[in-house]
């Protein structure tokens, strides 16, 4: 609902071509500030729901690897659409979880397997950025008559 509103269309226009928005008289700084407010509100709500769900917050819940995996999900799935984010999350999470069971079959320690898993995800990110920058599902551009 937000992406198809005038606010969402303005944000897409700023993302694609900020100078064009400026030439059309849009206040891009104000729109960016509003986008940060919306994102902060959604993030705060998500964090409070997460804290309510697990009933305990610890720094161990927020390791840098979590951010790395989230970026990998968006890059692999495709930016600019919900389907791409969901597909990317499924692909990366399936790979991340399923490779944990290879420890019984591959003669590597758990630390080495974890490092290898993250290295493979990093290579996957690089391959997607080089050969398929739009991700698995490309963002559909609206065509106006």
Confidence at residue 41, expressed as pLDDT on a 0 to 100 scale: 96
Provide the domain limits for residue 92: 63-145
Model confidence at 103, pLDDT cuts 50, 70, 90, reads low
Same domain, 43 and 68: no
Does pLDDT of 145 surpass 90? no
Q: What is the Cα 71 distance to its own chain's centre? A: 4
Model confidence at 143, pLDDT cuts 50, 70, 90, reads confident
Same domain, 17 and 68: no
Helix, strand, coil share (%) of the chain residues, nearest 5: 75, 0, 25
Same domain, 53 and 67: no
Does pLDDT of 130 surpass 90? yes
Model confidence at 110, pLDDT cuts 50, 70, 90, reads confident
How buried is 94 (Cβ within 10 angstroms: 0-12 exposed, 13-18 middle, 19+ buried)? exposed
**Number of structural domains found in the chain:** 2
Return contacts of 91-97, CB within 8 angstroms, 24+ apart.
91/136, 92/121, 93/69, 95/120, 95/121, 95/124, 96/69, 96/121
Confidence at residue 46, expressed as pLDDT on a 0 to 100 scale: 93
């Amino acid at each position: 609902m937000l992406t198809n509103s005038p606010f969402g269309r303005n944000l897409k226009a700023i993302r694609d071509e900020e100078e064009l928005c400026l030439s059309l008289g849009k206040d891009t700084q104000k729109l960016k500030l509003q986008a940060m407010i919306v994102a902060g509100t959604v993030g705060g709500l998500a964090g409070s729901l997460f804290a309510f769900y697990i009933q305990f917050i610890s720094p161990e819940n927020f390791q840098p690897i979590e951010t790395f995996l989230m970026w990998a999900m968006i890059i692999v799935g495709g930016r600019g659409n919900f389907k791409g984010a969901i597909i990317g999350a499924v692909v990366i999470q399936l790979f991340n979880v399923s490779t944990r069971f290879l420890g019984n079959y591959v003669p590597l320690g758990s630390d080495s397997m974890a490092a290898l898993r993250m290295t493979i995800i990093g290579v996957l990110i690089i391959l997607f950025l080089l050969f398929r920058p739009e991700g698995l599902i490309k963002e559909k551009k609206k065509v106006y008559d």
